[in-house]
Amino acid sequence: MNLSIQEILTQAAAFILLVWVLKKKAWKPLLKLLDERRERIAKGFEEIESAKKEVEKLKTDYEHARSQIEEEARKKLQEAIDEGKRVAGDLQENSRREARAVLEKAKEDIQLEVAKAKVTLRNEIADLTLAATERLLQEKLDETKDKELVLDFIEDLEKLK
């Protein structure tokens, strides 16, 4: 290796000159590029963290809204059940009232029919008694004949039943 000192010094000077030129012309832009890249990466991580926080917040808001909707649905369902029970109770009470009214009307109708039947029966008994008395008076001959007429009268009554 035959290197002369002059060659070594020339190469060293060229290397130093190259390092100095690179430092002046290329080093700062290269460092600037690296710094910009580092900042973009850091900003990307910040955006990712921000997006994660936003997603977590949205998820929490969604869960909260869903639980509120479920609670409201449960309340409305309970209100509907309560309203249904109330309506059913009202219907039952109305039905009972109507049934009592129908029963009272039926009792009144029955009493009226019984009263009519009594009047009719009383009139028929009176007519029959008058008819029997009339027959007795027309045919009053002796006690045997009277007894026979009363028995005939009773048989006529039994036939009418």
17-66 confidence digits (pLDDT tens): 988 888 888 877 888 888 999 999 999 999 999 999 999 999 999 999 99
Q: How far apart are CA 18 and CA 10, in angstroms?
A: 12
3-state secondary structure of 138: helix
> What is the pLDDT at residue 42?
95
Q: Whole-number mean pLDDT of the chain?
A: 86
> What is the pLDDT at residue 25?
83
Evaluate if residue 9 carries a pLDDT over 70: yes
- Give pLDDT tens digits for 101-153: 999 999 999 999 888 888 787 777 777 777 777 776 766 556 677 677 777 87
- Give pLDDT tens digits for 77-109: 999 999 999 999 999 999 999 999 999 999 999
DSSP 28-56: HHHHHHHHHHHHHHHHHHHHHHHHHHHHH
What are the Cα distances from residue 93, in Å, to 80, 97, 126?
A: 20, 6, 49
> What is the pLDDT at residue 31?
82
What is the pTM assigned to this prediction?
0.42
Structural domains of the chain, count: 1
* Contacting residues for 150 by C-beta, under 8 A, at least 6 apart: 132, 136
Contact in structure between 149 and 135 (CB atoms under 8 Å): yes
Q: Check residues 29 and 2 and name the one with the higher pLDDT.
A: 29
- What burial letters (b/e) apply to 129-145, b meaning 16+ CB within 10 Å? eeebeeeeeeeeeeeee
> What is the pLDDT at residue 142?
67
Range of the domain at 144: 5-160
